[in-house]
Structure 1
Amino acid sequence: MTLPWKQLLLLSIIDYCLDSGSYHGPRWRMEPGDLFIPVDSIEEEATLTCDAKGTPPPQYRWSLNGTLINLGLDRRRRLSGGNLIISSLDRYQDVGIYQCMAYNTGGAILSRRASLQFAYLDHFKVHTRSAVSVREGQGVVLLCGTPTSSGDLTYAWVFNEYPYFVQQDNRRFVSQQTGNLYIAKVEPSDVGNYTCAVMNSITKGKVQSSPTSLILRTDGVMGEYEPKIEVNFPDNVPAAKGSTVTLECFALGNPVPEITWRRANGVPFPSKVKMKYSNAVLEIPSFQQDDTGGYECVAENKMGKNTATGRLAFYAKPQWIQTMKDTALAIEERLDWECRANGRPKPSYTWLKNGQQLLSEDRIHVEDGVLSVSVLTLADAGMYQCVAENKHGVIYFAAELMVLASPPDFTGNVLRALLKAKAGTTVTLECKPQAYPIASILWKKGNLPIHTNDRITLSPDGTLRLANVSKSDAGSYTCFARNRFGMSSTTGRLLVTDPTRIIQGPVDMEIIVGESIVLPCQVASDPVLDVSFSWAFNGQLIAKGDGHFELVGGRTAGDLMIRNIQLYHAGKYICVVDTDVESLSAVAVLIVKGPPSPPDSVTVEEVTDSTAQLAWSPGRDNGSPITNYLIQTRTPFTVGWQRVNTVPEIIDGNTLTATVVDLNAWVEYEFRVLAKNSVGVGEPSPVSVKTRTEDQFVGHALLLAPCEPWR
């Protein structure tokens, strides 16, 4: 895998490890692809693409067949960006495998390999072809004798003169593998001249052979004979995943043989398989591993049969299933990378660093797809590539290794200048400098080293923990960090405070609607602490803009005044006290009492000339049980609402029906109900439907009528 030309790059990247600026190694944006150029286009230019990103912008080098292209001495080849442009193409000098390298101060990477080929089709040699003499009924093979070429070819045969072509059927077949024409059983109509026509699929160029005459012998007709397979497929046919596989099979014989296909394992062909040209061609599109195995072609006529066999073998280019990531490690740490690819056959692996192959030595271990580097040094930084390869393809994957080396630096993680902690709690002081390699840590209180005990612990990451702190733990703490590149420190002061106590907090209360109260919240705290108060009502923070609420008090008091209390102010109130070191809270439940809400659904159920039966639904009691109900009425003859007499005379809070008495006959009444509790009388209910009492004389007539004789 190591290419000599890559060694020339070392001088270009030697300063990479010494570069102190911000850089990133190259990453491919575009890699070269295979080119197949018609040979008649050699006067034009060919461009092999190569484009990478990186900081600083990458530079490029190209190799051909493993040898560095010296662009300074090559007038036909030049770079445009990273693209290689070749002018005045030469069929012999420019053909081969090209590879691009992109490099900067971050390292170097190799592109995929790209082939440049020239498609051409030479002319047939000019010579007279001998006539072919056969008996009627005999089979014959006319050879094409394809001239030298490059690129896919297609074949056809001209019969006598252009544009009359041989039509393929069960008796005649043109192989696209050999170009030959096969006639299973010659008939008199076959006599004539045959010319092989070849076309290059890339150049579209066409050439024709000299004609071959087919004549019949006069010594009789060929008798019947068993099939003889002349067109066959190899014993082992490699087939790429997803490709279209074509197998040919054709036999000579008299009578004309019939061609059939079958799989050796007896499994029927899937629907995707197609038969063409009277079954002479078997086509398998989108070849998969399930299509592998033995295939048999059977040629049969009444004289017998013949069988040709072969195997289709599945192969696949490598594809990544596991790759590595860009990695930043401290000097002296260990690197472990692994890459994996699938493919058939199983791929082999190599590793490249800055375009050169890595071999196991000293600190470096390379095995299969695993790369390990122990005790990293600055020289190990660079661009690495894992390469997976089988005989059908090769793939590359790149990742950057950054090796970090620096003295301890607390710029992003200094100790707090002043840390306050409540006595009895645990204090954690973190010492986390940026340092490569990891720094050793030493803590001091004042000028004295700190020693661990059952209350003071030091974690491997440098974190200092002080449990159950007291006033004696207060003071100045300094963390010293050191590695082989230098030392640094950070200092902070610890202040231990007395616990804060709520000496008067809110208590559960009952209050009447419209009144105002103050919910107390007063604390005793260490004077060095900053104290703040906030209140929550039913889980929501009380906003300062609410006109009913006002926070009153000084540094150690956060009393809450509630003015003109309404029913909806009932609920849970929490006073939250926050200091530099702790948070406390006190809870109280406020019950707001008010007159009952209006009763509902007042209905008149039965009416006489002087009474009405009423029923209603209760409203909310608003914090105080309903003691009794009052009923009022009005008529067109009254001014406003008037209280009426009822049975029972006093309607208690558990009664929801009553009879209104002492009403006037034949008068239209409306009724409403009011509820009363210990706070007062509530708002009246909605008004009932207007109801007229009965005529008192109708009532008397009904009573007297049975006593009088009927007239």
Structure 2
Amino acid sequence: MSLEGFESMPFSVSIESVDYGPVFVQEPDDIIFPTDSDEKKVALNCEARGNPVPNYRWLRNGTELDLESDYRYSLIEGNLIINNPSEAKDAGHYQCLTANSLGSILSREAILQFAYLGNFSGRTRSAVSVREGQGVVLMCSPPPHSPEIIYSWVFNEFPSFVAEDSRRFISQETGNLYISKVQTSDVGSYICLVKNTVTNARVLSPPTPLTLRNDGVMGEYEPKIEVHFPFMVTAAKGMTVKMECFALGNPVPTISWMKVNGYIPSKARLRKSQGVLEIPNVQLDDAGIYECRAENSRGRNSFRGQLQVYNYPHWVEKLNDTHLDSGSPLRWECKATGKPRPTYRWLKNGVPLLAQSRVEMVNGVLMIHNVNQSDAGMYQCLAENKYGSIYASAELKVLASAPVFALNQLKKTIIITKGQEVLIECKPQGSPKPTISWKKGDKAVRESKRIAILPDGSLRILNASKPDEGKYICRGENVFGSAEILASVFVKEPTRIELTPKKIELTVGESIVLNCKAIHDASLDVSFYWTLKGQPIDFEKERGHFESIRAQASSADLMIRNILLMHAGRYGCRVQTTADSVSDEADLLVRGPPGPPGIVIVEEITDSTATLSWSPAADNHSPISSYNLQARSPFSLGWQTVKTVPEIITGDMESAMAVDLNPWVEYEFRVVATNPIGTGDPSTPSRMIRTNEAGKNLENWSYSFENEEKPIPHMAYN
């Protein structure tokens, strides 16, 4: 079932509890029942779903079956069972009608027909006598049968069958045997054999003797077409079409085919020595006028007939289930293709829908003006041409209910501050859609540039002020009733905030108190929230450094103890009331000892000196006054300050020479920065370097730092 439109239902419900009209799961199919079947019963299937569960009835040739008055009928769920079926009583067109409390729908038509094959008349057939060279037609005269049968002929005795060729032809339309030019070998007894395509039953006709007259031989004569397809051949798109053409004549005529004003389809095949033109999977463009020609040396004969290809109706656009408010217009359109072009009919609850003043039906379009409860039900559009019909079904629900508000909408309190916008929602559920009206106290709300009732029923007040305070009542009303909600609006003075101090400069280890004060409407409670660099301060985690102090109802303090460099940044205070929220920020700068200098590089080395360079350290808001160079060797007790050139390394320098080193000793070097606040952490140590042997200094010595793990010395010895 299509659930389109359920979102417009007045209440939120689970899909399992929704009532809906019948929808077919299975419709009955055409059945051919063999009369000699051992089954002795026919089952026509029908299944539908719906809520409530649908019931079933059956129609035969448009008349409802009385399932209780005939013991042969039984109903198993929706399936119709016919016991001991007979053609006289039961052949016809069947439809399943399924219904529940929301409506009824009618299934497609299913044809029940019976397959049988009677016996030939036992009357002796007269002999057929012809001259040699003459053409002859032997009549089959088949017995009663249903449906189609296949013809063949036995020559003299079974199983010697007549072989078809350019001279002999068996029509599958009439069953007759045609011999265009009789020869002496054709003399004998001929029996027509027919076979039912469904039951495979076979019966034989009485024999027809064929003899030759003794009054001479038939001379040559022009062709005479004895077998041809109808003047008008009709076939369904996709079927296989077979057109027959055969002629008598002496000499034996040759059959050829053509399509007038066109070409015979390439998929076409010629059967029985060109006596049958077969077109599989016929399409609309295969239609046209076809001609067969019979020719021999004495002349030519031809026949023309038209092939028309039809197409069963096929849906292009179906119907969708629709839910409408009472009083709304309905417009449904169904579209189908087919050849001939389909016409349309409409059913309501399985019965033809009649045009009225409110109901119009034009070219597959159904319009109902001002729907009401009587219009609710199951509708079907039938698209049909003379070759078949198809059904599309949909349910119309007409919603009719008094307005109702959700419980959480019935009473509201709205608190805002001056200048803000007030928006009071009013969305009652009801069908038809309720009209909305607003009152303030006992007076109707008057719309203005500042006050407007929005299309969805909500009330909007711009730039609110104290006179806008009060009780507002929204009323939803339709033909079935009304409902109201109440909203109380309070307009307060806007909250202001003062955060002090605004800009602070501190040294590591010091403390500070930030004060946040709210100036607010006395009737409102306030809450304070602190942030650092946009993130809420976690007072539990930062208990050793941060503390929130609330000494007064309208102010809050942030105590920051033993400040670290990481505590520098922008602090925010946000004040929240039930009416508004305001915030302010302060910047805190923290001065501290320098950071560690960057990586130390040994640029040149001798037996007693090393030239070093480094990247500047972060000054942490207090200028670096000096750098101290330290070294460590296997013979020292940890890191020791070394003598340098220059002796004092000022804060703006980035290189110096360590002197008085011992020859042929491995050293590591590091740099420490100092500012007025203190000495910072040392740099990362340099790579370990060995001084030269005494008297063997390098003229040009440098490191390649492309490979950090293995410095490569480039040396030139004196």
TM-score w.r.t. the length of structure 2 is 0.82
What does residue 638 of structure 1 align with? 636
Residue aligned with 1:41, SS:
coil
Q: Gaps spanning 5+ residues in structure 1: where?
A: 1-20, 702-711
Q: Quick check: 1:33 aligned with 2:29?
A: yes
Q: 1:369 offset after TM fit, Å?
A: 1.4
* Cα drift, residue 71 of structure 1: 2.5
Partners of 1:540 and 1:65 in 2: CA distance: 80
Matches within 5 A, 1:439-454: 439-454=434-449
Q: Please, which moves more after superposition, 405-414 or 64-73?
A: 405-414
Equivalent residue number for residue 702 of structure 2: none
Pick one of 283, 286, 289 that aligns with 1:288.
Answer: 283
CA distance in 2, matches of 1:410, 1:575: 40
Q: CA deviation at 1:99?
A: 1.7
Q: 1:505 to 1:342 in 2, by over 3 A?
A: farther
| Cα distance in 1 for residues equivalent to 2:599 and 2:134 | 113
Q: Which amino acid aligns with 2:404?
A: D
**Residue 347 of structure 1: how far off its partner (Å):** 1.3
Query: Is the Cα contact below 8 Å between 1:430 and 1:462 reproduced in 2?
Result: yes
Distance, in Å, in 1 between the alignment partners of 2:190 and 2:589 is 114
Structure 2 counterpart SS, 1:178? coil
CA-based RMSD of the aligned residues comes to: 3.9
Deviation at 1:94, TM superposition (A): 0.7
Given the alignment, which residue of 157, 178, 190 partners 2:174?
178
Q: CA deviation at 1:698?
A: 3.9
- Are 1:416 and 2:414 an aligned pair? no
Q: 2:350 aligns with which of 350, 355, 358?
A: 355
Contact 1:199 1:207 in 2 (8 A): yes
- Name the SS for the 2:68 alignment partner: helix
Deviations 1:197-249 (A, max 9, x none): 22222222222222334445556666666655444333433332333333344
1:690 maps to which of 688, 691, 694? 688
Instruction: Report how far residue 130 of structure 1 moved.
Output: 3.5
Query: How far apart are 1:118 and its partner, in Å?
Result: 0.9
- Deviation per CA, 1:302-322, whole angstroms, max 9, x where unpaired? 666555444433322222222
Question: Given the superposition, is the C-alpha separation of residues 474 and 695 from structure 1 closer, same or farther in structure 2, using an over 3 Å criterion?
Answer: same
Identity over aligned pairs, percent? 52
In structure 2, relative to structure 1, the CA distance for the partners of 1:369 and 1:255 (3 Å cut) is same
SS in 1 for 2:409: coil
Counterpart position of 1:492: 487
Say whether the 8 Å CA contact 1:42–1:88 is kept in structure 2: no
What is the match of residue 469 of structure 2? Answer: 474
Confirm or deny: 8 A CA contact 1:31 1:111 kept in the other structure.
Answer: yes
Aligned with 2:344: secondary structure?
strand
After superposition, the Cα gap between the structure-2 partners of 1:46 and 1:539, relative to the gap in structure 1 and judged at 3 Å, is farther
* Matches for 1:102-113 after TM superposition, within 5 Å: 102-113=98-109
Check 1:77–1:673 CA distance in 2 against 1; reply closer, same or farther (3 A cut).
same
What is the rounded CA distance, in whole Å, between the counterparts of 2:687 and 2:90 in structure 1?
107
Cα distance between partner residues in 2 of 1:343 and 1:105: 35
Contact 1:48 1:84 in 2 (8 A): yes
Change (3 A) 1:700 1:249: closer
Alignment CA distance shift 1:622-1:700 (3 Å)? closer
Shift of 1:295: 3.9
CA 692–464 in structure 1, closer or farther in 2 if over 3 Å, else same: closer
**Which residue of the partner structure matches residue 669 of structure 1?**
667
Residue 387 (structure 1) aligns with:
382
Q: Which residue of 2 aligns with 1:314?
A: 309
Q: Which residue of 2 aligns with 1:12?
A: none
Return 54-63 or 579-588, whichever deviates more: 579-588
Count, aligned residues: 681
Q: In structure 1, what residue type is equivalent to 2:62?
A: G
Distance in 1 between residues matched to 2:256 and 2:502, nearest whole Å:
100
- TM-score w.r.t. length of structure 1: 0.83
**Is 1:580 aligned to 2:575, yes or no?**
no
Aligned match of 1:125? 121
User: What is the rounded CA distance, in whole Å, between the counterparts of 2:622 and 2:248 in structure 1?
Assistant: 114
SS in 2 for 1:92: helix
* 1:150-229 correspondence runs (5 A): 150-216=146-212, 228-229=224-225
Deviation at 1:611, TM superposition (A): 3.4
C-alpha separation between the residues in 2 aligned to 1:37 and 1:170?
A: 38
CA distance in structure 2 between the aligned counterparts of 1:294 and 1:537, rounded to whole angstroms: 91
Deviation at 1:579, TM superposition (A): 3.6
Q: Is it true that 1:57 corresponds to 2:57 in the alignment?
A: no
Aligned to 1:610: 608
Partner of 2:424: 429
Is the contact between residue 413 and residue 433 of structure 1 (CA under 8 Å) also seen in structure 2? no
In structure 1, distance between residues paired with 2:199 and 2:495? 92
User: Is the aligned partner of 1:80 residue 2:70?
Assistant: no
Deviations 1:592-639 (A, max 9, x none): 776666566655454332334445667877778877765433222222
Amino acid at match of 1:59: N
**Native 8 Å contact 1:534 1:558 kept in 2:** no
In structure 1, distance between residues paired with 2:293 and 2:569 = 94
Match of residue 238 from structure 2? 242
Alpha-carbon offset, residue 494 of structure 1: 1.5
Offset from partner CA, 1:613-670 (integer Å, 9 cap, x none): 4456678777788777654332222222233445566667787665544433222233
Give the corresponding residue for 1:398: 393
Find the aligned partners of 1:629 and 1:256 in 2 and give their Cα distance: 126
Q: Which residue identity lines up with residue 103 of structure 1 in the other structure?
A: A
Name whichever of 128-137 and 441-450 sits farther off.
128-137
Identify the residue that residue 7 of structure 1 maps to in structure 2.
Answer: none
Verify: 1:333 aligned to 2:331, yes or no. Answer: no
**Mapped contact 1:550–1:562 kept (Cα < 8 A):** yes
Q: Distance in 2 between matches of 1:545 and 1:218?
A: 131
What is the distance in 1 between the residues matched to 2:570 and 2:218?
Answer: 115
- The range that moved more, 680-689 or 497-506, is 680-689
Counterparts in 2 of 1:416 and 1:194: CA distance versus 1, 3 Å: same
Partners of 2:372 and 2:37 lie apart in 1 by: 52
